[in-house]
Copies of this chain bind each other. A is one copy, B any other.
Amino acid sequence: MTGGAMEPRGFTIPLTPSGQAAAAAGPPWYFGADVIQVEYHVAEESLLPFLPPGVELDPADPGLVQVAFSTMTAASAEIPSQHCTAPHDVNFNECLIKVRTRVGDAPGWFVTHSWVTNDVSLLRGFVQGFPKRIGKVAVTDFHSLLEQTGGRRPGARLGGVLEAPDGLRLRVLHACENEGSPDDVAALPFYLRRHFPALQPPYEGLVDEIVSPVVVEWQNLDVWAGRAEVETTGSSEAAVLVTPVDTPTSRSFRSTSTITGSQLVHRIRG
């Protein structure tokens, strides 16, 4: 009456006979993204309380923040037909806040917050250290053929809207003014705090480490640049991160990447 020779399998729970019930199936993960990226500065002292040990503001550009609204597709190599049999598990929207930092001498983007629209992304993110919650995230369609309903073309405006569970509401606008180059989209690594709590007091991180996703293929294309608007309402603690002190700029682009896992940067605990 034991579990038998065939153990339940899966990258995350639930582990089941097929190994495919996991909320997040395992890497490699394939990502496609249509991204609106808004860039600006906030006061340095506002950012410091959000940084984990060993992660500093980048002296090359302290106070720099990016907010990205993306229409995403993401699938695991473990479920080859997922994009056509379960598109609700593959397609989602994302809003992500990242701060220009460095660890030692290596610059990168530390992700302070993220909101997504499905649970697959939430949990695939959680195990990597993306600090996600489910939120309402809407983004203008990049592929619309009618200017009245979306699309990117000279003069086009695109927007992203976030409603977070803590009351934060964020709205960005991006104007397609100039065609850009993929080189304009900085390819710095992400810094993430991968964290899994202990369940006995003091409930600290059993796993608590700064990691960086291992990206084996990453391509940006179809870049547009132009002016931006950022509007924040609500009294969230995160509001300071999306309240520019200078004039924001914006880019939009399409992106593909493959992530195979994570690389340890340094351990905080555990």
Task: Report which A residues bind B (CB closer than 8 A).
Answer: 1-4, 6-8, 11-18, 20-21, 23, 26-27, 30-32, 34, 44, 48-57, 59, 62, 73-75, 77, 80-81, 83-91, 112-113, 118-120, 122-123, 126-134, 136, 138-146, 148-150, 157-161, 163, 165-167, 169, 171, 173, 193-197, 199-201, 203, 206-207, 211, 233-235, 237-238, 254, 256, 261-262
Contacts and interface: CB of A to CB of B under 8 A. Distances in A.
Given A13-B131, A85-B173, 18 more contacts: A1-B44, A3-B49, A3-B55, A13-B195, A14-B131, A15-B52, A27-B199, A87-B159, A90-B141, A91-B140, A123-B126, A128-B199, A136-B136, A136-B163, A163-B163, A194-B199, A206-B207, A233-B233
A16 B128 CA distance: 18
A90 B149 contact: yes
B87 A160 contact: yes
The quantity of this chain's copies bound in the complex is 4
Contacts of A4: 48-49, 51
